[in-house]
């Protein structure tokens, strides 16, 4: 037993299966997404570009929430 603060997309299957339960939902604001600040686009390393691509939420998914 315990409490965890997790991103819903990572645990949605467990929530639906009933292996996890939401608690304190009134005190958990929706996650608006990541805000990443970095220097100009000309200097983006391949590693940073891969990270940005990995956490970027497609516009289609944002509209469905």
Residues 6+ apart with CB under 8 A from 44: 38, 52
Predicted confidence (pLDDT) per residue in 32-53, tens digit = 778 888 777 678 889 988 888 8
Q: How far apart are CA 18 and CA 46, in angstroms?
A: 40
Q: In sequence order, what are the residues at sequence separation of 6 or more whose Cβ sits closer than 8 angstroms to the Cβ of residue 24?
A: 3
pLDDT score recorded for residue 22: 92
| Distance separating alpha carbons of residues 15 and 47, to the nearest angstrom | 33
Residue bearing tokens 């299957």: 13
User: Dihedral angle at the C-alpha atoms of 10, 16, 18, 22, nearest 10 degrees?
Assistant: 60
pLDDT tens per residue, range 14-24: 999 999 999 99
């Amino acid at each position: 037993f315990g409490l965890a603060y997790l991103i819903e997309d990572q645990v949605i299957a467990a929530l639906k299966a009933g292996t996890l339960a939401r608690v304190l939902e009134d005190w958990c604001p929706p996650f608006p997404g990541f805000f990443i600040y970095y220097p100009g686009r000309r200097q983006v390393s391949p590693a940073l570009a891969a990270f940005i691509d990995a956490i970027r939420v497609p516009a289609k998914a944002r509209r469905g929430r």
